[in-house]
């Protein structure tokens, strides 16, 4: 499957489902969509950066390579925006936030609240997943179950889990 078709399938599986049935941006002043500082933003899924190649003249976003690698020769890209975007082009990470796929190597996939969002950014991420719109959680779960069948996406989810999510989860468990 071509990269564009792969991601479009996933985007379609999520569709218009949103974290709450009302506009959650009213809870926090749309904090997750504020202009970010250098080095902050949304990690792109593998090869998702290719979808932006024909849109690089759009000055509302930038894409940077990071020092997070899924393979020796394949780094993860960071998407930074200025707090506004063409919704049809927003990254997968934005579509599923405040959820994130979690999977240790060899382990099962689960969908959790993103511990990065719980650090004072998102009131939903700091809460209980059962408070989210069920339709949204189901749609993200289905989409991630489809996505993880792709080897590169699976590897990305595992690297993100081990290097970015686990340290935060361990830290918050210690503080309980």
The binding track of 95-134 with respect to ligand SF4, each residue x by CB under 6 A or -, is --xx----------------------xxxx----------
User: Count of residues binding ligand SF4 (CB under 6 A)?
Assistant: 22
Instruction: State how far the Cα of 61 lies from the Cα of 79, in Å rounded to an integer.
Output: 7
Q: Which residue among 44, 76, 81, 96 contacts ligand SF4 (CB under 6 A)?
A: 81
Is 83 near ligand SF4 (CB under 6 A)?
yes
Is 153 near ligand SF4 (CB under 6 A)?
no
| Smallest separation, CB 89 to ligand SF4 (Å) | 8
Is 14 near ligand SF4 (CB under 6 A)?
no
* Cβ nearer to ligand SF4, comparing 77 with 154: 77
* Cβ nearer to ligand SF4, comparing 85 with 104: 85
Query: Comparing C-alpha atoms, which of 103, 102, 95, 52 is closest to residue 77?
Result: 52
* Cβ nearer to ligand SF4, comparing 35 with 170: 35
Instruction: State how far the Cα of 97 lies from the Cα of 59, in Å rounded to an integer.
Output: 23
Query: Comparing C-alpha atoms, which of 79, 107, 108, 111 is closest to residue 14?
Result: 111
SS3 of residue 45 by DSSP: coil
Query: Comparing C-alpha atoms, which of 112, 168, 117, 169 is closest to residue 140?
Result: 112
Query: Comparing C-alpha atoms, which of 114, 112, 90, 109 is closest to residue 150?
Result: 109
Is 27 near ligand SF4 (CB under 6 A)?
yes
Contacts of 41 (CB under 8 A, 6+ apart): 64, 78, 79, 80, 81
Structure tokens at 33: 């969509």
| Smallest separation, CB 107 to ligand SF4 (Å) | 26
Contact footprint for ligand SF4 (CB under 6 A): 19, 24-25, 27-28, 30-33, 42, 81, 83-85, 90, 94, 97-98, 121-124
């Amino acid at each position: 499957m071509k990269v564009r078709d792969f991601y479009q399938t996933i985007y379609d599986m999520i569709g218009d489902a949103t974290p709450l049935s009302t506009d959650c941006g009213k809870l926090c002043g749309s904090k997750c969509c504020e202009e970010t500082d250098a080095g902050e933003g949304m990690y792109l899924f593998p090869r998702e950066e290719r979808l932006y190649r024909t849109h690089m003249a759009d000055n509302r976003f930038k894409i940077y390579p990071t020092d997070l690698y899924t393979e020796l020769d394949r780094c993860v890209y960071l998407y930074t925006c200025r707090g506004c975007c063409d919704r049809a082009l927003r990254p997968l990470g934005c579509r599923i936030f405040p959820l994130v796929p979690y999977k240790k190597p060899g382990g099962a996939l689960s969908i959790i609240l993103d511990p990065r969002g719980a650090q004072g950014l998102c009131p939903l991420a700091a809460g209980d997943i059962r408070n989210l719109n069920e339709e949204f959680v189901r749609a993200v779960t289905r989409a991630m179950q489809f996505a993880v069948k792709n080897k590169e996406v699976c590897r990305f989810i595992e690297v993100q889990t081990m290097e970015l999510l686990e340290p935060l989860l361990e830290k918050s468990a210690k503080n309980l």
